[in-house]
Structure 1
């Protein structure tokens, strides 16, 4: 009888313990769900909402419901993507240089410079947003500067692909450049949309 009671007691302990798991580990606090909702709503205002949400949702607890943090996070991811694009195009440039394809080499060299400019412009945009957060320059001036830097980055990305659109041949190189820069441009486009829609004078 005592053995039966012992087994029954152990079973009850396991049952009670397991029943508390969903309440503590599986169900996130309501505020984190609200932060994700904020990010999703913000991303729905962009041209590529799924791409936006996939890249930003994991940072929702940092972003919370802060428009400035939202835009800084988006631009920080943007810089990472621009650095990756620069690396891809630099590798293509080195390959073209080693195979003496002068025409392609010159276009790729220009593209690499455009990508470096993009990185610098996005970093300038982040620096401006941090001034805004710290209460430095006037809000209106900061937001205008941020938009200008991000718009310039988007223009530089377009300039890179335009150089390949005007040139025949080298299908694989052209395809890689277009895919790489297109993916970057979507992220930059989303960043600009968030800045335009969520930063007010």
Structure 2
């Protein structure tokens, strides 16, 4: 009799585990489909899906969480880009124009990170705001993310011209272009979230 009850207990535990795994897989699948669908309206959908897919369990199918995560990913990318550009500014044998462009870029990327951070805080803080109050807060978020994107593009523009061609320009441009793509996607998701309320 004890063996039968142990067997039943074991079977019920296995059934529970299997059900939980299936439920998690269904949730993951739903989150992935939601992310892909949301990203399809962005300027860089493949970058969007790639940068957000790892956060599917947190995002679920929640537009606000998707927007919050997109901004957080953009901020994280801005901070790592700032660190990268800072390291490049310490290279020896930089041309004067390269150093000046790097220094300006560092300021722009720093401003971008600051604006993205403010956007995240604004989105977190306004909670369940509705109507005009919601629109005011979302307008702030949209303005700051748009300004962050402008900062990133200004950094890239600072390396225009053949005089700055070389490894430094190429490596900074690769980093900042990726940051701008992630930020552009975040802005699209912010705008989409705002338009649905």
Give the TM-score normalised by structure 1: 0.81
Partner of 2:7: none
CA distance in 1, matches of 2:154, 2:162: 13
Q: CA deviation at 1:193?
A: 0.7
Q: Give 1:72's aligned residue.
A: 68
- 1:155 aligns to 2:119 (yes or no): no
Matches for 1:8-157 after TM superposition, within 5 Å: 23=18, 27=22, 28-95=24-91, 98-99=92-93, 101-135=95-129, 138-157=133-152
Equivalent position SS for 1:165: coil
**Unpaired stretches in structure 1, ≥5 consecutive residues:** 1-15
Instruction: Give 1:8's aligned residue.
Output: none
Is the Cα contact below 8 Å between 1:161 and 1:181 reproduced in 2? yes
Query: Residue 197 of structure 1 aligns with which residue?
Result: 192
Q: Is the 8 A contact 2:42 2:188 kept in 1?
A: yes
The root-mean-square deviation of aligned C-alpha atoms, in Å, is 2.5
Look up the SS of the partner of 2:50 in the other structure: helix
Between stretches 171-180 and 149-158, larger displacement belongs to: 171-180
Q: Aligned-pair distance for 1:25?
A: 7.7
Residue in 2 that maps onto 1:11? none
Matched residue SS, 2:69: helix
- Alignment partner of 2:66: what SS? helix
* CA distance in 2 between partners of 1:58 and 1:94 (Å): 33
CA contact (8 A) 2:108 2:154 kept: yes
Instruction: Write the deviation string for residues 88-134 of structure 1: whole angstroms up to 9, x where unpaired.
Output: 11111111xx3262221111111101110010000011011112325
The answer for unaligned runs of 5 or more in structure 2 is: 1-10
Question: Which residue is 1:175 aligned to?
Answer: 170
C-alpha displacement at 1:197, in angstroms? 1.4
Q: State the structure with more CA Rg.
A: 1
Contact 1:63 1:70 in 2 (8 A): yes
Instruction: Tell me, yes or no, if the aligned pair for 1:68 and 1:199 is still in contact at 8 Å.
Output: no
